[in-house]
Amino acid sequence: MSQNQVSETVWTINDLTFTLDMHDVAVMERYENAFEIMEEQEKKIPVDGKASVRSRMYCDLFRNLFDNIFGEGTADTIFGSRYNVKESIETYESFLNFVSNQQAGIEETTNRLVTRFMPNRAQRRAAAKN
Give the Cα separation of 99 and 125 in Å (integer).
39
Give the Cα separation of 77 and 75 in Å (integer).
5
Does the pLDDT at position 109 exceed 90? Answer: no
User: Which amino acid makes up residue 79?
Assistant: F
Does the pLDDT at position 5 exceed 50? Answer: no
User: Which amino acid makes up residue 73?
Assistant: G
Does the pLDDT at position 6 exceed 50? Answer: no
Q: How far is CA 118 from CA 79, 109, 110, 123, in A?
A: 47, 14, 11, 10
Q: What is the pLDDT of residues 67-77, one digit of tens each?
A: 999 999 999 99
Does the pLDDT at position 112 exceed 80? Answer: no
**Helical pair 51-70 and 85-117, crossing angle rounded to 10 deg:** 40
Could you tell me which residue, 117 or 39, shows the higher pLDDT? 39
State whether residue 111 is helix, strand or coil: helix
The pLDDT value given to residue 102: 86
Give the Cα separation of 23 and 101 in Å (integer).
13
pTM, whole model, 2 decimals? 0.77
Angle value at C-alpha 43, between 41 and 47, nearest 5 degrees: 120
Give the Cα separation of 43 and 112 in Å (integer).
40
**Cβ 45 vs Cβ 54: under 8 Å:** yes
- Residues 6-15, mean pLDDT to the nearest whole number: 84
